[in-house]
Structure 1
Amino acid sequence: MTKVLVLGAGGRIARRVIEMLAQQDVELTLLVRDAGRLEHAPQDARVVEGDVLDSDLLAATVRGQDIVYANLAGDLDTQARRIVETMEAEGVQRLIFITALGIYDEVPGAFGEWNRQQIGSMLKPYRAAADIIEASSLDYTILRPAWLTDDDEIDYEVTGRTEPFKGTEVSRKSVAALVGELVGAPDTRVRANLGVNKPGVAGDRPSFM
């Protein structure tokens, strides 16, 4: 049985990932700052309350896992460094990590300009996090989702690290489905860095803005 650790398990994408993984043959460990946010966690999941930056806790939680999925916010570069160091020390190779669109200035046109105006201040640590992961020895997949919706749909396409980003939005359920696919086939998209968007939603900004 594949052992999967979810970091930032209380997040809105992570909760959908957990729901999907509960249907797979996996053993879930959920790390969350406030366990009260996991009211609907699977009964057989192990819930760990704490902070990713707690070195001892993170090491104990990572130890013995097969896959680590990280869906975090804030000082993402600091968190990424701690995760990489811990996984390398513990001999855990497979990492799925969520960052953001625009970290490579890869979003073209008016939407790219709008995106920089909206989230430009947060892109530097998110880019640094991706750089740290790419410089590691880990078998990583970095995902850069478009602006997120709560639409009940799975409809997405991906772009490579050096390709122009497509589309303006994508559902959280779609991103979760991609994470679930990677967990189910961990040898795919290894050391890949992917933009994720819904096809056919080009424009100057997301439809809900």
Structure 2
Amino acid sequence: MEMACFNGSLSPRLTCDRPRGRHAHCRAALRYLPQRAASFPGRLARGAAVGRGRRRLAAAAEPQTLQEQPARTEGSGAAEACSKLILVVGGTGGVGQLIVASLLSRNIKSRLLLRDPEKAASLFGKQDESVLQVYKADTRNTNDLDPQMFEGVTHVICCTGTTAFPSKRWDGDNTPERVDWDGIRNLVSALPQTIKRLVLVSSIGVTKYNELPWSVMNLFGVLKYKKMAEDFVRNSGIPFTIIRPGRLTDGPYTSYDLNTLLKATAGERRAVVIGQGDKLVGEVSRLVVAEACIQALDIESTEGQIYEINSVKGEGPGTDPEKWKVLFRSVQSN
């Protein structure tokens, strides 16, 4: 196994590739004024869009930045909002909430696929659709995944999941097979081949689900179905990166608001350990997983790669793209 540890923050270098002044959503981003913002393993975890289109969440939320991030400028935020459109699937889960909050703090345009769109309003406040778009869809149902939901999408982060063992979260056919296998397969099959990168959050131990102690966690098939989903992604023809987290810590922050999410920290566990070969064992902050997903979208060397990720006490790469590049490249398979 190869492994790297960064024990040591946000400077995206995205630029708008659209002519100045020609796009309303770019201008809207420049007017982004502050208002009141409304486990192991991993997070074990086309239908009509609301109102036959995008669900508008009017007004704007306070453009705060995640703690431990440098202050942002309005200009750089507008550039990011114009450069890409990131589809987040599972955006109200423990990791997904942090991904969405971080994208909002960077003014990167996002689109969410949610079974319950109302959760977006409660978690992220009311946002103009130039910043955040919300569609109602259930990845378990192929008829929910209408092609219009993917129009304009450049990147995808999928962090759906359920519990490894029977629980209330299984109500309504929310089992590992339906979520981690059927859901991922349906989503990937519906994505256009123009997607620049798909980042899938999986779990450590997926290649060893018949071995102890992993077989215990796999009693109801969660690791097996996650591995099947990984294989489907790998064979899809879509550029991908797979992130396998250790046992998740910090949160989840379910039912908290955007202000809470933006103030979340990894505490002392900011140093990042990355490995390959499914030999890494340990735990990882949800904030670290969220940041790894966002960073992997634009780091060329991560394409076609699978990484295990943990976090330990110490200083880490934060949100610095260059430090994440070093981390990812240091363990890249030949």
TM range (shorter): 0.7 to 0.9
Query: How far apart, CA to CA, are the structure 2 residues paired with 1:186 and 1:61?
Result: 25
SS at match of 1:19: helix
Counterpart in the other structure of 1:109:
none
Larger % of strand: which?
1
What are the within-5 Å matches in structure 2 for residues 50-199 of structure 1?
50-52=137-139, 53-55=141-143, 57-73=145-161, 74=176, 75=178, 76-88=180-192, 91-105=194-208, 113-121=212-220, 122-150=222-250, 152-153=265-266, 154-160=270-276, 162-165=277-280, 167-183=281-297, 185-199=298-312
- Counterpart amino acid of 1:84? V
Change in Cα spacing, 1:133 to 1:56, as seen in structure 2 (3 Å) is same
Label 1:87 to 1:50 Cα distance change in 2 as closer, same or farther (>3 A). closer
What secondary structure, in the 3-state scheme, does the structure 2 residue paired with 1:65 have? Answer: coil
Mapped contact 1:9–1:30 kept (Cα < 8 A): yes
Q: Which has the higher contact order (CA 8 A, sep 6+)?
A: 2
Q: Which segment drifts farther, 190-199 or 74-83? A: 74-83
* 58 and 145 in structure 1: CA distance in 2 versus 1, 3 angstrom threshold: farther
Q: For the Cα contact (< 8 Å) 2:138–2:144, is it kept in 1?
A: no
CA deviation digits over 1:145-192, x for unaligned, max 9? Answer: 1010117313322112x2522x32101011011112123x25340011
Cα contact 2:207–2:278 (8 A) shared by 1: no
- Once residues 54 and 41 of structure 1 are traced to their aligned partners in structure 2, the CA distance between those partners, rounded to angstroms, is 27
Paired AA for residue 213 in structure 2? W
**Which runs of structure 2 are paired with 1:34-45 in the superposition (5 Å)?**
34-38=116-120, 39-41=122-124, 43=127, 44-45=131-132
- Poorly superposed stretches of 4+, deviation over 6 Å: none
Change (3 A) 1:194 1:171: same
What is the Cα deviation at residue 85 of structure 1? 1.7
Q: How many residues align?
A: 192
1:171 counterpart letter in structure 2: S
Q: TM-score, normalised by structure 1?
A: 0.82
| 1:2 is aligned to 2:95 | no
User: Following the alignment from structure 1 to structure 2, what is the Cα–Cα distance between the partners of residues 180 and 35?
Assistant: 22
Give the C-alpha shift of residue 116 in structure 1.
3.0
Which stretches in structure 2 are left out of the alignment for 5+ residues? Answer: 1-82, 162-175, 252-264, 314-334
Instruction: Give the fraction of aligned pairs with identical amino acids, expressed as a percent.
Output: 21
Amino acid of the residue matched to residue 51 of structure 1? D
> Is 1:12–2:12 an aligned residue pair?
no
CA RMSD of aligned residues (A): 2.3
TM-score by length of 2: 0.53
